[in-house]
Amino acid sequence: MNAILVLWWRELLRYTRSRAQIVASLGQPILYLLALGFGLGPIFKRAGAGSYLQFLAPGVIGMSVLFSSIFSGLGLLWDRQFGFLKETLVAPVPRIQIMIGRTLGGATVAVIQGLLVLVLALIFGFRPTNWLVLPLAVGFMILIAVLFAALGVAIGSGLQDMQGFQLIMNFLVMPIYFLSGAIFPLTGQGVVLTWITRFDPLSYGIDGMRNVLLGTAHAAFDPGVDFLVLVTVGAILLIFGAHRFSKIEI
């Protein structure tokens, strides 16, 4: 077993031990599916846009993957506080390996979380047009998870206390979610919102899932574009995160 693997394993162990947290983290997606999916469903239908639950489900899955992955990266803050970070930073292992182990661990947890929400959505009545495309949707979940886990590490490397955490939550994580087209269609918006959503990487992740789960008619971009944007931005953030992580001083 090497360093990357053992740190990945550690993230999974921690996840499986926080059962209460797993249940709690499913509360929000349920609320969204229920309140928005069913609540706004009739209006959406009257507007001629079809089933809102169908449209919303990939967005809520994307939200869970986003939250879970970015928080795993910000978990650096907790490791800094409880000291475990030091233990990994003095180990004779290149920091890039430590960063990759953590990021992949966090991303794996986020994908599991996304799959749980997918199951929830199926229970609520969501149906993909073709069951065979599910692996492709999981592929997009993985891309979203790695991208935001890397962003989380990049930010977490510089965070010193809880105040910073609140700031990130309110001015980064929530905007990324709400301005991503998770809950509204990206097409036919005004110029300002269109531009903003184009700069949100999550837009492409959720759009990618809509492309494969619902068909291209329900998506805003080409699936190839979604894929390329996520891979490119993900790679940049991984490099950026690794650089920031290598500079940590305690």
Q: Which residues bind other proteins (CB under 8 A)?
A: 1-3, 5-7, 10, 13-14, 17-18, 77, 79-94, 160-162, 249-250
Other beta carbons within 10 Å of 52: 20
Residue closer to other proteins by CB (options 1, 192) is 1
At its nearest, how many Å lie between other proteins and the CB of residue 77? Answer: 8
Nearest to 103 by CA among 155, 151, 149: 149
At its nearest, how many Å lie between other proteins and the CB of residue 78? Answer: 8
Whether 185 contacts 55, CB under 8 Å: yes
| DSSP letter (8 states) at residue 83 | S
Whether 205 contacts 237, CB under 8 Å: no
Element holding 174 (H helix, E strand)? helix 174-178
At its nearest, how many Å lie between other proteins and the CB of residue 33? Answer: 30
At its nearest, how many Å lie between other proteins and the CB of residue 23? Answer: 17
At its nearest, how many Å lie between other proteins and the CB of residue 91? Answer: 4
Give the side-chain half-sphere CA count within 13 A for 41: 14
At its nearest, how many Å lie between other proteins and the CB of residue 89? Answer: 6
Residue closer to other proteins by CB (options 5, 236) is 5
Residue closer to other proteins by CB (options 45, 86) is 86
Residue 200 phi/psi, 5-degree rounding, is: -95, 115
At its nearest, how many Å lie between other proteins and the CB of residue 107? Answer: 19
Task: Give the tokens for residue 37.
Answer: 């999916």
Residue closer to other proteins by CB (options 97, 211) is 97
Cβ-Cβ contacts under 8 Å for 159 (sequence gap 6 or more): 74, 76, 77, 80, 165, 168
Positive or negative torsion for Cα 76, 244, 112, 25 = positive
Residue closer to other proteins by CB (options 225, 248) is 248
Residue closer to other proteins by CB (options 94, 125) is 94
Q: From residue 73, how far is each of 3, 106, 142 by CA, in Å?
A: 17, 7, 15
Residue closer to other proteins by CB (options 15, 221) is 15
- Burial label, 14 (beta-carbon count in 10 A; 0-12, 13-18, 19+): middle
Task: Give the tokens for residue 240.
Answer: 């950026």
